Structure 1
């Protein structure tokens, strides 16, 4: 499956959910270049929270790849919290990852920037909490 980086704009890679391997990282300079290449994304990935973590569609639902294995991803099973500057992304009955979100760039005047643009765990939480948004982004 093809996944897009949450960390670096225009970066994509191939992810094998059977092995957990991410390979063939490719960068596209523009969205037009990416569209011309016919790249369709199945999910997003990050390496900025300590381990490779992904949110992707599979079998009509969403899956969170966390701590080296897949977990069903729903608003009821995935938890995100932030306390004293440390965030935690976890799943019911499974592991959690504590990490320091990268945070916004001071005095960034970029319009439409959200905290979730710098925190993959918050992004996952927000998408799962909004079924209409999950449907628009992932088609589930």
Structure 2
């Protein structure tokens, strides 16, 4: 979720892309948007495609290539679809590890409950190409 807690003037948006690794584990099953909207009325959930989780399945776990691709799409959207200079991202370790892989950061394994701050600056003004499709889709 892109959010700044307790700041009413800063937009808060929930996005489908920056999620934990998807599939098999029920802890990775996203709650319904209707229930989350009641819990968090100041968050914009319009980027989410359906009330129920469209990606989670009980018998298929997302591969490292797929989570890397999902992170790539997320980073492209953050850099090229937002009109702001600063964006805060709160997410899970699986996505943080994938983001580090996608940007070429050294190998680092995020521990449970660990907070990992890192700053990304767009210096090349180019999108990140998909590992799976070879395309730049945002």
TM, length-normalised to structure 2: 0.29
**Which of 1 and 2 has higher RCO (CA within 8 Å, sep 6+)?**
2
Q: Which has the higher helix share?
A: 2
Q: Which has the higher strand share?
A: 1
TM, length-normalised to structure 1: 0.28
